[in-house]
Structure 1
Amino acid sequence: MSLFDFREVASGLAPGATSGLPSGTNATDSEIFGVHFNLTTLQHWNYTLYSGNNTISNGSWCFLMDPPYTPVGVLNNGTFVNSTWCYLATQPSGPRGNAGIGVAVCFALALVLVLVNLARHGKLYLPATKRFVPIGRRWQWYWASFVCTTAIIGLFTNIDVDRYRVLELPIVLNVFFWFLMQMGTTAIVWEAVRHWGSWMERQFVDPNPFVLHQTDSRGMFEFWLPLFFYFWLWLNFFLIVPRNWTNIELQRSPQQIVLKAIPTATDGRFKAAGFCLLICWLTIMVSLWHSIRHYEPRNRGWFNRTIGFLGYMPFRFVLLIPLLLALVAYQELVAWRFDLSPLNAKTNLLAMYLGGYAPSLLIVIVQAIDGFCRPNEDKELIRQRRTRGAAIDRELGLVKKPNWWRRVNGDVDDGGMRGQIMRNVREVGGGRPTARHVEAMAERRAADLEAAGANNNSGIEMNTLRRSNSAATSVRTGATAPPPYTTAYGGRSEQRRTEHTMQAVASLLFPNASPSPSIHERGRDLEMSNQQTQRPYTTERSSSTASAASGISTSGPPQQIRSMLDI
């Protein structure tokens, strides 16, 4: 029914409601669908029978009057006996609900594809950076999930729009989630275009992090443009959602439709909301132009730039942008034509589903198909790095050896860490034999040390460590007997460790010097020195040390001191 037909109904050409009640057998009787009611009681409580939907109401109470819901009578207080409330889903599902179920199933399947793509493209294979956060490439899939969810909820409420004899909450829920779906679809296209530009920037920055600065005019433009877009998108939300939706429910008679529903559904706020979506669409086009201008080769001349703009633009944008423009045009159209609007319970279903739901569904499907065709961005970046590395190796003349080269040369890594552990086990054995092997090695080492100590009783390595406090053994008394030691040496000497370290450093700095004596030679030298005279308690030094030193310096070649840099 067109707007002109609604106005004819309101003018009385085709009345859909009668304030008078049908007459009965006498002046105080009213017969409705074969049941007699007290006419005086109905008039006293201001009941009106609506022939358009076969309901009776006084503004506070509403009951169904057609069979099988016809009440059996009315009491003096205006209460109907065995009555049925108007605001119940008593009717069968109509074409609007049946078509909505089919479209909702399509959105449910699209939601599965969206979640698979979210897991596919949202997974990280490289460390996250502050400049390119992981959520930036996930936003388009988050919005796609939001669109599918709101579409499914809104389409299933279409069933109750048909089943309610008198419209109430279902029509409001249906259009509420439909407007949210329109916002989410616009955000999908925006995030797809914005992230494509960010991906192009990331490919520029990856080889050289300093080639594009974040504080230049390009970077600041990319910083403020998303804020500008979401400002108009949320302005669309605030123009539509925070309002009194009761007038949309008042489609219970042609008079209500003309006086209440149509003025509300075509008011200035709905018209301005469609204009906000148009600005969002223009912002998306500006973002696409900006990305192509900065991250693609530039062409000269307007004609070449136009051809280049269409050529450099990904193919999915060739589909997404016109579909989004059709969605914006339909939302602005329904703000002027109530007979094509989803807010109309008896709307043109072909126009509603083709203009209201088909663009959103196609945009989600195109995004999902493109997501399966494109690789994960981290994997693609890793592939580009390998390609650049191979190109650099070719320029430097480096040839990477094939995999069989290591196997031929015996450098085989069988199993990674597991193979390394097995090689260590094979060297020392495994299980309890390993412990026996270690114990046997310790016993042999102890026996060797005991044998060395027996051969060199005066050696300092295995001698006792306790010194007697008697006067005969004191150094201050001048006694010639060596001090007796009774406690065996039980560990490594820190002095000997320091001595070995100094000898190693000296061998590096003085390569021509004579090698240091072994343990047995050092023991024999110590035994011989003990047989000589005790060093006097004066500041005089023994001539043996000087002579030995002088002998080394005179007989050997001159010392060549090496620098630490040579080491």
Structure 2
Amino acid sequence: MPLLDAREILAFPGGDNSSDTVIGNVHFNLTTLQHWNYTLYSNGTLSNGSWCLLTFEPYTPALVLPNGTFINVTWCWSPTEPIGVRGGVAIAYAVLFGIALVLILVNLKKHGRLHLPTEKRFFPIGRRWQWYWSSWVCATAVISLLTSIDVDRYFLPELPIVLTSFFWFLMQWGVMAVVWEAVRHWGSWMERQFIDPDPFVLRNDDRRSKVEFYLPLVFYLFLWLNFFMIVPRNWTGIELQRYPQQVIDDAAPTATDARFKTAAFMLAVCWLITVFSLWHSIKHYCPRNRGAFNRLRGLVRYTPLRFMLLLPLAAVIPAYQALVAWYFDYSPLKVGGPLASIYAGAYTPTLLILYVQILFGFFNPNEDLELQRQRRVRAQELDREMGIVHKPSWWRRVNGEHLDPNESMRDRLARNVREIHGTKRSAPDAEVTLSPPAGAPATSVEMTPVSPPPPSAPYSSRSERRRQERAMELAAGVLFSGAPEQSAATAARRREELMMDGPPPPSYRDTVENIRAAPASNVARSISAESSSSTNHPPQQIRSMLDV
């Protein structure tokens, strides 16, 4: 992009007369141009301080009206130049950030899915924040890179350099939040694994819990201070890079003022808080070491490989932001600045941080699934210590103890009857035909009543076989009570067995009627006789719990 020097002002070329001038082989009214205070510059632009237009072919205006309006005009802030090196590299970086966005959404679905009930201390959004911030970083990076294409294409710098700088600062702001959320959530995940075997091993009101509560608040306080130091400001001074002296007088002081320097300091404090959070998690959830040297070695030993890569890359971000806040020549806010420093310090660390997150996101399992696996391992260890050996999963299928999801209620009742009879199906596809006994009337029940076994001899002993037979008969009578003849026969046989112990006692109604009809003396005498007869009568022999 050409830069115009303030001293390169040209005189209007002569035309057909004193009020005519020829610019780009087109005749213009010189009086009108001078009336509206237009000035011709050596780079082919015509400007009056408010409007700027191109005068060289093929962008030469066709006509100027007496009121100062140009016909078929092309303004100086138009993308007339071809895509430069900065724009070409920006397209390549934008493609990489777009691919990263797709992979981040895949990881968000993998790690954000719940496989366990939500716990009060560990909310699902805690594990998703790092992927939400990563999506923010990809979006702002793509906007910044695509708008930087027009930085080279505009004839004079204007809105594109402001947009690319604005979204670049938002990208830097978001990538620090990505690293912070990754470290913070790792500490939360370590705490969750630590208390899962014993929820009461850690207190909720100790110093550790208070630090973990206030640390995110402090981090986001400094992060928002970085945001307010940069974003809400007048960005017009960044556009004033149209000639070298203007860069020195306007653009450089604006890009290196006290607010940008303070913002870089705030970002450095955010990085230090992130490192402290990592140290705090290792101290409380990893094995402790004695001595300063052993603690330092333990800090390096228990730091995950992911954070060994993320923290140095994240340290480059506040360092580069501080560099450009003091030296404008290396800043991405400068039009025509050195591309090596711009892309190496401004975009490459952010891109590497995202891809490190994506790589470890694919390798690390979902936390709920990992917690389930740890619980199974602990349960197996406890069973091994107690000597409990569980049967394999095929045991129930071999012994016919599994439940078929396609089994109907009729099949389940038939299986229950077979279990009562002590028999099993000979083949998986065998049919059990349940038909009513001969002469039995049809019932309205879905399953036809099964014929009970023939009545056996009266109960005379306490043998286990007889007890099982009686239990089977009672169960069959409860389940299949559709045959009245069989029910009557069973009731009669039961009454005969009860009569073996003696005549039944009089009913309550007969006793009350006799007492009302007899005199008082007879009532007392009858009660006394009944008492003496009850004491002289031999006690009833209870043979089984079924006789009670």
Calculate the TM-score normalised by the size of structure 2.
0.79
Per-residue CA deviation, residues 313-355 of structure 1 (Å, 9 max, x unaligned), is 0001111001011121111111122222111121212211111
Q: Show the counterpart of 1:40.
A: 31
Cα 1:447–1:92, aligned 2, differ >3 Å: closer, same or farther?
same
How far 1:284 sits from its partner (Å)?
Answer: 0.8
Q: Show the counterpart of 1:244.
A: 234
- In 1, distance between residues paired with 2:35 and 2:326? 42
Is this contact kept in 1: 2:515–2:523, CA < 8 A? no
Q: Show the counterpart of 2:523.
A: 541
Q: Show the counterpart of 1:178.
A: 168
SS in 2 for 1:60: coil
- In 1, distance between residues paired with 2:77 and 2:241? 13
Q: Show the counterpart of 1:260.
A: 250
Q: Which letter maps to 1:536?
A: A
- Counterparts in 2 of 1:327-366, with a 5 A limit? 327-366=317-356
How far 1:538 sits from its partner (Å)?
Answer: 5.1
- In 2, distance between residues paired with 1:422 and 1:239? 76
2:401 is aligned, of 409, 412, 415, to 412
Cα 1:209–1:35, aligned 2, differ >3 Å: closer, same or farther?
same
- In 2, distance between residues paired with 1:32 and 1:422? 101
Cα 1:364–1:420, aligned 2, differ >3 Å: closer, same or farther?
farther
- Counterparts in 2 of 1:8-407, with a 5 A limit? 15=5, 18-25=8-15, 27-52=18-43, 54-407=44-397
Would you say how many aligned residue pairs link Structure 1 and Structure 2? 484
- In 2, distance between residues paired with 1:231 and 1:327? 18
Is this contact kept in 1: 2:229–2:263, CA < 8 A? yes
Per-residue CA deviation, residues 372-402 of structure 1 (Å, 9 max, x unaligned), is 1111111111111111111112222222222
How far 1:299 sits from its partner (Å)?
Answer: 1.8
How far 1:423 sits from its partner (Å)?
Answer: 3.1
- Counterparts in 2 of 1:419-438, with a 5 A limit? 419=407, 421=409, 423-424=411-412, 426=414, 438=446
Q: Identify unmatched segments of 5+ residues in structure 1.
A: 456-514, 561-567
- In 2, distance between residues paired with 1:331 and 1:167? 22
How far 1:551 sits from its partner (Å)?
Answer: 4.0
- In 2, distance between residues paired with 1:36 and 1:178? 45
> 173-182 vs 253-262, which deviates more?
253-262
- In 2, distance between residues paired with 1:226 and 1:308? 24
Cα 1:421–1:357, aligned 2, differ >3 Å: closer, same or farther?
farther
Q: Which letter maps to 1:253?
A: Y
Is this contact kept in 2: 1:33–1:65, CA < 8 A? yes
Cα 1:126–1:79, aligned 2, differ >3 Å: closer, same or farther?
same
Cα 1:202–1:544, aligned 2, differ >3 Å: closer, same or farther?
same
Q: Show the counterpart of 2:537.
A: 555
Q: Show the counterpart of 1:463.
A: none
- Counterparts in 2 of 1:438-453, with a 5 A limit? 438=446, 444-445=482-483
Q: Which letter maps to 1:413?
A: H
How far 1:117 sits from its partner (Å)?
Answer: 0.9
Is this contact kept in 2: 1:535–1:542, CA < 8 A? no
> 393-402 vs 444-453, which deviates more?
444-453
- In 1, distance between residues paired with 2:303 and 2:408? 52
Cα 1:425–1:252, aligned 2, differ >3 Å: closer, same or farther?
farther
Cα 1:263–1:404, aligned 2, differ >3 Å: closer, same or farther?
same
Cα 1:450–1:203, aligned 2, differ >3 Å: closer, same or farther?
closer
How far 1:450 sits from its partner (Å)?
Answer: 9.0
How far 1:537 sits from its partner (Å)?
Answer: 5.7
Cα 1:250–1:446, aligned 2, differ >3 Å: closer, same or farther?
same
How far 1:418 sits from its partner (Å)?
Answer: 3.4
- In 1, distance between residues paired with 2:402 and 2:323? 69
How far 1:239 sits from its partner (Å)?
Answer: 0.3
- In 1, distance between residues paired with 2:113 and 2:514? 83
SS in 1 for 2:40: strand
- In 2, distance between residues paired with 1:440 and 1:419? 18
How far 1:34 sits from its partner (Å)?
Answer: 2.6
Is this contact kept in 2: 1:17–1:253, CA < 8 A? no
How far 1:56 sits from its partner (Å)?
Answer: 1.4
Q: Which letter maps to 2:517?
A: P
Cα 1:22–1:366, aligned 2, differ >3 Å: closer, same or farther?
same
How far 1:544 sits from its partner (Å)?
Answer: 6.5
- In 2, distance between residues paired with 1:250 and 1:450? 110
Q: Which letter maps to 2:205?
A: T
- Counterparts in 2 of 1:452-463, with a 5 A limit? none
How far 1:559 sits from its partner (Å)?
Answer: 11
Cα 1:541–1:38, aligned 2, differ >3 Å: closer, same or farther?
same
Q: Identify unmatched segments of 5+ residues in structure 2.
A: 418-431, 437-441, 450-479, 543-548
- Counterparts in 2 of 1:431-510, with a 5 A limit? 438=446, 444-445=482-483
Per-residue CA deviation, residues 206-246 of structure 1 (Å, 9 max, x unaligned), is 11111111210111011111111100000000000000111
- In 1, distance between residues paired with 2:264 and 2:290? 36
> 278-287 vs 393-402, which deviates more?
393-402
- In 2, distance between residues paired with 1:81 and 1:528? 121
Percent sequence identity over aligned pairs: 53
Note the aligned Cα RMSD (angstroms). Answer: 3.6
Q: Show the counterpart of 1:461.
A: none
Calculate the TM-score normalised by the size of structure 1.
0.77
Q: Which letter maps to 2:537?
A: S
- In 2, distance between residues paired with 1:329 and 1:49? 44
Q: Which letter maps to 1:47?
A: Y
- In 1, distance between residues paired with 2:481 and 2:538? 42
- In 2, distance between residues paired with 1:34 and 1:435? 111
Is this contact kept in 2: 1:24–1:36, CA < 8 A? no
- In 1, distance between residues paired with 2:509 and 2:287? 90
Cα 1:440–1:231, aligned 2, differ >3 Å: closer, same or farther?
closer
